[in-house]
Structure 1
């Protein structure tokens, strides 16, 4: 197996050797040509629409127009006391109607042209001097529930956490939740343990992640300080509180006394209008998300995508880190693990989900190490394959599942390893258009095969190509790239005419690199020289092949898979292509349901 190229070790994009191998510039130029947007700044960022509120103001700070969420949060006449310099933006901590504090991102309309403003506010931008955007997810009970469900909190734990978000201390939260203080204390302790949080302030940050924003970095102090009008030391204290550090730990980290930390916290509470470390963490998180919005064109805010993705997060008890998955239910269904492709995450085509559910199955999409919100392991590609299989076993144990079926659009190495290592948990698998080893692959036409050729001959360029794709991950660009990639397949092009199928695929592709492109980099590196290991009996497996697949010629690689999975079933579908899961969901679901 090829060694993983660790993120951070930059590669340059060079032309191929004189042997006729493609140069990276030609591939990237082809991708840029079909991208409909300019390169985006920042990693893909998706926000739940109901967490956003926006308004437009006159030069004197008078409210001109606001969306209902803004009025509900700040009242009918909030006013704008402090505005940034022209051409810049700033953050303001503002007291809400309910007494909590929310952060506003403020700028001139020209600066804010890529922000997710409501239609009414965007329409008033020409007459406005300033526009303001708030990100305040925990003003919405539905998002609090989503965040708590993401960490698999019980109903009692959710009640106490919800109450704590709106109160100054745990005793007040216990009264709001209608439970005894000791019960509330035990519930919070359980929530901290499940979320892997050190303290309540750290729990706030992790709840934001599960509410819909996904992985994000707290803003660096060099950005946080000027944006919120703080000193660098105050910004550092604010950031460390949000990370869950205690006062002694903050003092040791910053090499200052605990007395100074206490004094800085007092100033922070006064200047930002908060009263607790949890509320301070909330300000730090909101500010970080809004700073990411201000600096990123790579943004989508669609509640629909978040509603479709029932996110769950599991801690790895021994290996460390977390595993992310989407559990589509129902709990009574036969568990079916969906293995995503190298370019997508755990948001699965909803037509396929419904088709599987109609047949009594419970689709569960697990993000492999380094994809989406699942943490990567340390080590080389072989470690990632073993970790992916162990993560699958962890999900079976945590959710108390019966042996699972596998439906694989990618991750063949992990699927085979799971079946080999945990045969008592494996109930059969379907491989959709599985990988063919490069040594037997002869198809090189089109955009995807240009990339495939580049990866197989110049693997040192996988990392810069991944970074380039992340910068082209806006929804519009992803749609253009996808259409170009499958244009040789009439079936796939026809499928993409369905706005639902296109939207689901694009949203899932943006999830893949939500935290890091590590998963894509290591898997593509590992595929250089990979062949499936032979099993003694392959009758539990089925290969389902769309013969319009733009990646491979029909029949190519059959001898490899016949040797690896003796006795396995092969189904060829002439009228289907690479996207067979979306174009023929009923057929795919029927094959999965028939596994025995």
Structure 2
């Protein structure tokens, strides 16, 4: 996962070691805590011992964290939409005891799943292909009551499952069959009504001509529309477009890095066939795939023919649909905790292409479209959605809040080179794609370098800047003694730990553990009072899970900026009238002259901590008055 070129440079920096010699290595501490429900409990309960182990031997600590992560589920909490799944309860003999409406639509005639049911009963949960309506292939997860215990099944399904000892749950991933999800994908990609009809028709049509007829347009009109759709989605070819549409339809948003392994295990392909199929599904042509894999074009065609035969897919486009649906189903099935339902917070999710078309950028636009836009930064792990109080306060102040997910966070692709330059270019792309003129900026925490890079590289696009609790460069770092400050110091001083540590946390981000972390991490009384509200806790927890479900690229890259001795550039001094907002409930603020801006105004937010978006929304909106 972390051999990606996007991570080059993340591990540069220096390590600081202490002369203290711990009695145990981190691996030994982790083994000693094996009786606990999760390895992360060690960090929460015995941080001083972990700190000693890390200081004494950073290299081994990194390896120990990576080894501990490999034994954990790939996703801690997966948020899924019920409309993407179809569910049934069956006996081992294939008798259907319960089937929801989506399953009955996919399988109007009873599918013979007896071989798979018997295998799942004998070997445990499995993922495999099943044939549904119109001979279309779909991916199904099959498991017994114990394995299905974490699925939030309907009461009727639970009752059917509990009524007999030989019953199993069948969950089929089929977001492509939901017109509601197709319409959501169209809104996310800003497709017109015609483009949306064509995109939905392309899901199962054998070619563009048939899709054009299904959408009620002519062939040339469809070709022009497809070019526009591809440009908006940031893709080159139809198979890649189908994969992008499936990903947008689903909330789990798996990253697709293990597509070849998934195709091999779930579809029964050989390793060579799986590698070829994964490349074709990403939008590569046969010659491009041959070059990428070191094969001849004839071998690629032979392997792809076998892929289509074994999976029942009706072409490269249909295989991309099948692989995308399998990816999302496995992401939910592999999670420690599955949550179904719509996310709160409103706003319109958009996924746009970068200016060069090479990357995708995600944002949530809260409107109204005729108001002054303000780009609102999320934090290092949460903040991709705005609480209703802050949304209303900003809109009431005449603003149009837009939360842009920085490179590697949420659904935004990682940066391939300079992180802050890429983040700044992403914001410039948002300004152009959304046809804005100038924007305000509300940045926070470790997002400060990206905000200052935008001010430096695109000064004509920036109107007013507010930096909320900006994290200073390392040479000015404060010496706070809180748990979070201590952990962050170790990450910044030992950048080779960042990826391993972040992945270690990401794979354990279940609701229960995140609640513990939040109460331990927050120090301000206002924050702790806010956490007492179950709605606030759930909002934060779901936000963290969605932000970190795909990868830790953003978190790691942003911390590496600091670890590699980032300092603001003097060119940012051309801006005047900037505001630094400081929460008085947090200790250890560094005097903000390091930002290098003249006439910098400092505003204190009384009694606030790291959650002013919940506790002080009116104060934040007033900063732009």
Query: Aligned equivalents of 2:268 and 2:337: distance in 1?
Result: 26
Query: Aligned equivalents of 2:494 and 2:297: distance in 1?
Result: 53
Describe the SS at the equivalent of 1:363: strand
Describe the SS at the equivalent of 1:467: helix
Question: What is aligned with 2:415?
Answer: 377
Structure 1 residues 559, 159: closer, same or farther in 2, change over 3 A?
A: closer
The answer on whether the counterparts of 1:224 and 1:235 sit within 8 Å (CA) in structure 2 is yes
- Structure 1 residues 151-300: aligned runs within 5 Å: 151-212=189-250, 213-217=252-256, 219-250=258-289, 268-269=307-308, 271-297=310-336, 299-300=338-339
Q: Is 1:81 the equivalent of 2:114?
A: yes
Residues 141-173 of structure 1: CA deviation (Å, up to 9, x unaligned):
221122233333232211111122242222222
Question: What is aligned with 2:142?
Answer: 106
**Of the candidates 52, 56, 70, which is equivalent to residue 89 of structure 2?**
56
Range moving further from structure 2, 356-365 or 89-98: 89-98
Q: CA deviation at 1:451?
A: 0.8
Query: Aligned equivalents of 2:491 and 2:22: distance in 1?
Result: 11
Question: What is aligned with 2:613?
Answer: 581
The answer on whether the counterparts of 2:407 and 2:423 sit within 8 Å (CA) in structure 1 is yes
Question: What is aligned with 2:63?
Answer: none
Describe the SS at the equivalent of 2:395: helix
- Structure 1 residues 457-468: aligned runs within 5 Å: 457-468=493-504
Query: Aligned equivalents of 1:482 and 1:205: distance in 2?
Result: 35
The answer on whether the counterparts of 2:75 and 2:507 sit within 8 Å (CA) in structure 1 is yes
Question: What is aligned with 2:525?
Answer: 490
Q: CA deviation at 1:313?
A: 2.2
Describe the SS at the equivalent of 2:123: coil
Range moving further from structure 2, 175-184 or 310-319: 310-319
**Of the candidates 407, 426, 433, which is equivalent to residue 398 of structure 1?**
433
Structure 1 residues 312, 273: closer, same or farther in 2, change over 3 A?
A: same
Query: Aligned equivalents of 1:548 and 1:345: distance in 2?
Result: 19
Query: Aligned equivalents of 2:303 and 2:497: distance in 1?
Result: 47
Residues 358-412 of structure 1: CA deviation (Å, up to 9, x unaligned):
3331111112222223233334xxx211221122112111111021011112311
Normalising by structure 1, what TM-score?
0.86
Normalising by structure 2, what TM-score?
0.82
The answer on whether the counterparts of 2:386 and 2:613 sit within 8 Å (CA) in structure 1 is no
The number of equivalent residue pairs is 576
Describe the SS at the equivalent of 1:112: helix
Question: What is aligned with 1:501?
Answer: 536
Question: What is aligned with 2:557?
Answer: 522
Structure 1 residues 253, 82: closer, same or farther in 2, change over 3 A?
A: farther
Question: What is aligned with 1:389?
Answer: 424
The answer on whether the counterparts of 2:407 and 2:554 sit within 8 Å (CA) in structure 1 is yes
Q: CA deviation at 1:251?
A: 5.7
Q: CA deviation at 1:238?
A: 3.4
Q: CA deviation at 1:344?
A: 2.5
The answer on whether the counterparts of 1:53 and 1:118 sit within 8 Å (CA) in structure 2 is no
Query: Aligned equivalents of 1:489 and 1:429: distance in 2?
Result: 25
Question: What is aligned with 1:6?
Answer: 7
Q: CA deviation at 1:431?
A: 1.7
- Structure 1 residues 346-361: aligned runs within 5 Å: 346-361=384-399
**Of the candidates 534, 538, 543, which is equivalent to residue 580 of structure 2?**
543
Q: Is 1:558 the equivalent of 2:591?
A: yes
Q: CA deviation at 1:471?
A: 1.7
The answer on whether the counterparts of 1:41 and 1:298 sit within 8 Å (CA) in structure 2 is no
Structure 1 residues 119, 198: closer, same or farther in 2, change over 3 A?
A: farther
Query: Aligned equivalents of 1:34 and 1:144: distance in 2?
Result: 48
Query: Aligned equivalents of 1:251 and 1:458: distance in 2?
Result: 40
Residues 6-59 of structure 1: CA deviation (Å, up to 9, x unaligned):
379889xx9951269999959965545499xx9841145433232122221112
Structure 1 residues 188, 22: closer, same or farther in 2, change over 3 A?
A: farther
* Structure 1 residues without counterparts, runs of 5 or longer: none
Q: CA deviation at 1:245?
A: 3.2
Query: Aligned equivalents of 2:259 and 2:272: distance in 1?
Result: 12
The answer on whether the counterparts of 2:247 and 2:324 sit within 8 Å (CA) in structure 1 is no
Range moving further from structure 2, 99-108 or 332-341: 99-108
Structure 1 residues 257, 40: closer, same or farther in 2, change over 3 A?
A: closer
Structure 1 residues 15, 163: closer, same or farther in 2, change over 3 A?
A: same
Query: Aligned equivalents of 1:28 and 1:509: distance in 2?
Result: 16
